[in-house]
Amino acid sequence: MTPHLLARDARRIERYAAMADTARFLHPIQQALLHRRGWLKMLAPRASGGAELPLPQAVRLEEAVAAVDGSMGWVLTLCAGAGWFAGFLPPALARDIIGGKRVCLGGSGAPTGYAEQEGDGEAAGFRITGRWDYASGAPMATHFTLNAVLRANGQPLLDERGAPRIRAFLVPAEQVQIVPSWGSIGMRASASHSYRIDGAWVSEQYGFAIRPDAATADGPLYRFPFYSLAFVTLAANIVGMAGHFVRLAEPCMRRRRHAAQDLPLLEVPEVAALLHAKQSALAAARLHFYAVLDHSWAQVVGGTPLDADAMHAVQASSLALVAAARAAVDELYPYCGLYAAHEDSTINRVWRDFHTASQHSLLLP
């Protein structure tokens, strides 16, 4: 497991990013790098063959990859995040899956299918049917995770409040049909297609709950709340892409001239001040984000669960970082010229990726 982004790996990712965007999936060399570096298993339990990387280290790696190629950073984040679920599976099953060759877990969180209970005892299991959207990295997934409404005898099972019971499941790719549906302007190479399952049967051990008290792995990584983990990993991708955009915007602004003053834009005081302000605001939001993440991680490592206030702090710092990223990208883009609107330019791909990824439902302003 390589826990950080090496310079040579960054160059390799960058070299194939445009080709991946055109092909609408990660280049085979990018895919091979994900496997060779062990990144897709970086959040899986060490006991099952994963790296069980400390969360702050994993988040910084995700940001670094997204700062080179948004689609690759996103696939890494979502698929490694699905691998985190191995910490909630029966240990023997987790070892079988994570120990597999070129394993990659993908999936979707919306409960848009159902799982019918069948059998009892050792023959107990579920028959799963449904369609789920936005499974990043779907073409390379060996297993798919999903949420489904539980049913028995054709009727939804209800919890103590009368709401349908929902459970998470893991299904091998052989029982899944990918539905090509990803037609977004950006994040093209993430291949975040839909998938469907038509009556696939899985044994009871393939169902799991995603709660700290339901973890089967012992480490602090599996006591970190799921939604807090989701916020920090997604926000890291957004700031990675935003930072990439800002770095590419500066030379565009240096080349472009102000029509009225006949000066390079960066020699116009107001424009130079805007660039500096956005760089500073993004850096400050990023610094605060990592301070909150590092503090919350230290708290969990020390054995103290995150309470509602701590989880809110994680969410708030994540959304503040996303807001600063949006402001930087959207306010600098008008100064970048038609080059930034050219579909084949790197800055345009980064702009498209940023505005697609930041539409994730958790990142609403």
Distance set, CA 217 to CA 89, 154, 214, 276 (Å): 8, 34, 9, 45
Can you give the CATH number for the domain in which 22 is found?
A: 1.10.540.10
Kindly report whether the global pTM for this prediction surpasses the value 0.95: yes
Lowest mean pLDDT among 53-62, 233-242, 260-269: 260-269
Can you give the CATH number for the domain in which 150 is found?
A: 2.40.110.10
Written as six digits, the tokens of 291 are 């301070």
What is the mean pLDDT of the segment spanning 186-208?
98
* pLDDT tens digits, 319-331: 999 999 999 999 9
Number of domains in the chain: 3
Residues 238 and 156 in one domain: no
* pLDDT tens digits, 140-159: 999 999 999 999 999 999 99
Q: At 193, which helix (H) or strand (E)?
A: strand 193-203
To which residue do tokens 């805007």 refer? 274
What is the mean pLDDT of the segment spanning 286-299?
99
Can you give the pLDDT at residue 101?
A: 87
What is the mean pLDDT of the segment spanning 32-46?
98
269 pLDDT more than 90: yes
Q: How far apart are CA 236 and CA 215, in angstroms?
A: 25
Q: How far apart are CA 163 and CA 152, in angstroms?
A: 15
2 is a domain residue = no
Give the side-chain half-sphere CA count within 13 A for 152: 9
Residues 77 and 116 in one domain: no
Q: How far apart are CA 136 and CA 147, in angstroms?
A: 16
Lowest mean pLDDT among 34-43, 58-67, 121-130, 231-240: 121-130
Residues 164 and 235 in one domain: no
1 is a domain residue = no
Tell me the angle at which helices 226-255 and 269-301 cross, rounded to the nearest 10 degrees: 160
Written as six digits, the tokens of 315 are 């969410």
Q: How confident is the model at residue 261 (pLDDT cuts 50, 70, 90)?
A: confident
Can you give the pLDDT at residue 330?
A: 98
Can you give the pLDDT at residue 59?
A: 99
309 is a domain residue = yes
Q: How confident is the model at residue 212 (pLDDT cuts 50, 70, 90)?
A: very high
Q: 259, 343 in Cβ contact below 8 A?
A: no
Residues 188 and 318 in one domain: no
What is the mean pLDDT of the segment spanning 170-185?
98
Can you give the pLDDT at residue 303?
A: 97
Give the 3-state secondary structure of residue 280. Answer: helix
259 pLDDT more than 90: no
238 is a domain residue = yes
148 is a domain residue = yes
| Last residue in a domain, options 176, 191, 212 | 212
Q: How far apart are CA 104 and CA 26, in angstroms?
A: 14
Residues 109 and 139 in one domain: yes
Residues 119 and 33 in one domain: no
1 pLDDT more than 90: no
Can you give the pLDDT at residue 109?
A: 92
Can you give the pLDDT at residue 353?
A: 99
What is the mean pLDDT of the segment spanning 65-92?
99
Residues 117 and 180 in one domain: yes
* pLDDT tens digits, 102-128: 999 999 999 999 999 998 887 899 999
Q: How far apart are CA 351 and CA 254, in angstroms?
A: 18
Residues 82 and 110 in one domain: no
| Last residue in a domain, options 212, 232, 247 | 212
262 pLDDT more than 90: no
Which residues, including other chains, have CB under 8 Å from residue 15's CB and lie 6 or more apart? none
15: containing domain: 7-98
Residues 155 and 285 in one domain: no
Can you give the pLDDT at residue 149?
A: 98
Residues 93 and 136 in one domain: no
DSSP 293-358: HHHHHHHHHTTPPP-HHHHHHHHHHHHHHHHHHHHHHHHHGGGS-GGGG-TTSHHHHHHHHHHHHT
219 is a domain residue = no
Q: How far apart are CA 50 and CA 39, in angstroms?
A: 9
**Any idea what DSSP says for residue 37?**
T
Residues 72 and 133 in one domain: no
259 is a domain residue = yes
Residues 352 and 337 in one domain: yes
| Last residue in a domain, options 98, 126, 155 | 98
79 is a domain residue = yes
